Structure 1
Amino acid sequence: MWPSSHIHIPLCVTFFLLLLQIWRELFSPLHALNFGIGGDATQHVLWRLQNGELDHINPKVVVVWVGTNNHGHTAEQVAECQGAILVSKIYFIALGSFASREEPKSLREKNTRVNEFVQQALPTLPWANFLNLDDGFVHSDGTISHNDMYDYLHLTRAAYARVCRPLYDKVKRLLEEQDRMVS
């Protein structure tokens, strides 16, 4: 149970979890807000942030999980736009883009490069964190199971549960760190 000081502190999470049990279990008690829109690309998130999406709230942590839908953009362009999203004094957690497609394809390689570029840029942003939750989804033969990604792109409920537990732990640590800094 979170201390009462967290009751009215929003946490913005930008992915589609609102209807899932894991969202209700982990993030709803934090009074988290979900601004995720299916099909979002980095430029859409950046536009909304630049045009007031967070203007009337004061989040302590923002989780950004975007980039896979940037079809037609290079890995460098996707990472650059993600970097623009993260340029703020709010604590950000940038979730790594997941491997996708049943077997290795160019999108997987692109997502890997995006993750590498973002990780390289983050040391210059002390309030930004990178969290790669992709471990275990790609099997030793290079395939992904439909039990983890039903269409080899979107996570199943079970996969969301695996991903959200460590994300929740990271969010909790950042909130506790901020509380210590204020005390």
Structure 2
Amino acid sequence: MKTLLLTLCLAALLAPAPAFTQTAAAPPAPAAAPVTPLAPPTLQRDTTGLVTLACATPGVIIRYTLDGSDPNQRSGPYLAPIAFAHGGLVKARAFSQDRKQKSEPAEARFDAQPGVVPPPTTLVPLTQDRDWPTSDWAVRHAAVSALVRERKPELVFIGDSITQMYGGEPHDRSQPGREVWDKFHGKRKAANLGFGYDYIENTLWRIQHGELDGAAARAIVVLIGTNNLGKNKPEEIAAGTRALCDEIHRRQPAATIVLLGILPRGPKPDAMRAKLAEVNALYAKLDGRNHITYLDPGPKLLAPDGTLARDLAGDYLHPTGKGYTLLAEALEPTLRKLLGEPTP
């Protein structure tokens, strides 16, 4: 046993030492490049009441508000001087293109110019981007403006997400009414100028900034105002829609404007429905003004007791394919007449 132990010890002593491998240390990570702060915007108003925003940092997007709130990633982009003769507070921030970096806020308060009475918000055109990241408002504005110039549509639909989700290009969001659109309007020279989350004042801005320019419209369907119900009085909503229709008439004087009543929302009659009915009564008074034809397809969506079925509006606001079918059928006789199409 002693001999065996001695042999093992000698073997261990004579065994070659394991090779030592030196591992080079990883080079230190490069220091992050310093982030250059974005310059806050500047705000100036000229003698005509137009407010101009600018930024010393190139390549940024300026976003602004007129309601006193702090501009964020979903605030309206500054795309043109702001008509602001009535005065008030303008707030602005500069954002990087990816919206991850922002500047310090800037703001300016302007007095109303002599003789100018501050109007309701429905009469103050401005941009928005509340539907981001589902849809980029400025990108869609550029896309539909180009589409109208290229195709010169005879039939145009103007409105908010209810219109946008009906169908038609660009297909930049879910459109449960797309098959219905294709069935009724696929062979027509039609364009969809609906934008998610639009207030009347946002739609007014779009029309004032070229979306209808180049169209050869014979019929223009307007469905707008539901998003204003939560923040404006019925008279203010009607005033904004009247101004919108007047602007449409100025830009497309040969077209008939088919003004639709705001569609019912909510599962059953309530205070919001009552306010909606007040607005629609005011809309009805616009019938005959500047080529306006008023039409209220809302009752087609309701049961006799006033309830709105979920299979017609899944969220009790936006129609389903079945709901859009009922709306299209209600519109069809009027559109055929205006477009000079024979009755089937």
Q: Give TM-score scaled by structure 1 length.
A: 0.85
Could you say what secondary structure the match of 1:69 adopts? helix
From 206, 213, 219, the counterpart of 1:48: 206
Alignment match, 2:154: 10
1:155 aligns with 2:319: yes
Is the aligned partner of 1:124 residue 2:281?
no
Aligned to 1:170: 334
Q: Greater share of helix residues, 1 or 2?
A: 1
Q: 1:86 aligns with which of 245, 253, 258?
A: 245
Distance 1:52 1:8 in 2: 13
Q: Count the aligned residue pairs.
A: 170
CA contact (8 A) 1:96 1:115 kept: yes
How big is the shift at 1:25? 1.0
Q: Take 1:42 and 1:144, find their aligned partners in 2: how far apart are those partners?
A: 24
Q: 1: CA distance between counterparts of 2:281 and 2:217?
A: 27
Distance 2:270 2:152 in 1: 44
- Aligned counterpart, 1:181: none
1:99-128 Cα distance to aligned partner (Å, 9 max, x none):
111122222112111111011122333x11
Change (3 A) 1:150 1:169: same
Is there any run of 5+ residues in structure 2 with no aligned partner, and where?
1-150, 168-174
Aligned residue type for 1:84:
A
Letter in 1 for 2:313: M
Q: Which has the higher contact order (CA 8 A, sep 6+)?
A: 1
Q: Could you give the per-residue CA deviations for residues 114-156 of structure 1, whole angstroms, max 9, x where no partner exists?
A: 111011122333x111111112433333322111111111111
Bigger-Rg structure (1/2): 2
Give the share of equivalent positions with the same residue, in percent: 26
Higher strand share: 2
* Superposed displacement of residue 8, structure 1: 6.1
- CA-atom RMSD in angstroms: 1.8
- After superposing the two structures, state which structure 1 stretch, 65-74 or 81-90, moved more: 81-90
Q: Does 1:66 align with 2:224?
A: yes
Partner of 1:98 in structure 2? Answer: 263
Structure 1: stretches of 5+ with no match in the other structure: 1-6, 178-183
Aligned to 1:180: none
Q: Match for 2:190 among 32, 35, 38? A: 32
Q: What secondary structure sits across from 2:294 in the alignment? A: strand
Specify the SS of the correspondent of 2:324: helix
Of 75, 93, 117, the residue aligned with 2:234 is 75
Is the CA contact (8 Å cut-off) linking 2:219 and 2:256 kept in structure 1? yes
Q: Which residue of 1 aligns with 2:22?
A: none
Deviates more, 1:52-61 or 1:26-35: 52-61
4+ long deviations beyond 4 Å: none
Q: Does 1:107 align with 2:266?
A: no
Determine if contact 2:152/2:214 at 8 Å carries over to the other structure: no
